[in-house]
């Protein structure tokens, strides 16, 4: 089975955003604005936390998929490319998490 990546999903979201008036869930979210997309992302984050605390594996996987989708829609709503987030992560690979945390405090 061909591997489906988060980039494939980001491309689908880009296509839905460009598709004008066609009815799609993504289009509906984007039409409601970035604040609405942020609220939906927050709801999905809470649902993911609940699934994790309950230690329900299948539920956590499903909520994680919802969360990633809503994360990408939120980035789209604010005009941020997934590649920008990856670049931010990439810059951190030369330092440990603790060093990265310390560097943020001095910003």
Question: How many Å apart are CA 59 and CA 27, to the nearest integer?
Answer: 26
**Shortest CB 55 distance to ligand PRT, Å:** 21
* Sites of contact with ligand PRT (CB under 6 A): 9, 12, 16, 24-26, 43, 65-66, 69
Tell me whether residue 26 or residue 48 sits nearer to ligand PRT (CB atom): 26
Tell me whether residue 51 or residue 69 sits nearer to ligand PRT (CB atom): 69
Tell me whether residue 2 or residue 103 sits nearer to ligand PRT (CB atom): 2
**Shortest CB 101 distance to ligand PRT, Å:** 31
The residue with tokens 């839905």 is 16
């Amino acid at each position: 089975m061909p591997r489906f990546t988060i980039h494939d999903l980001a491309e689908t979201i880009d296509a839905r955003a460009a598709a004008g008036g066609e009815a799609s869930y993504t289009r509906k979210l984007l039409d409601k604005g970035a604040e609405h997309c942020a609220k939906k992302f927050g709801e999905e984050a809470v649902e993911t936390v609940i699934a994790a605390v309950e230690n329900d594996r299948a539920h956590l996987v499903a909520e994680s998929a919802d969360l990633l989708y809503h994360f990408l829609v939120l980035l789209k709503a604010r005009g941020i490319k997934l590649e920008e987030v990856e670049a931010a992560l990439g810059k951190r690979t030369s330092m440990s998490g603790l060093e990265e945390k310390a560097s943020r405090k001095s910003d």
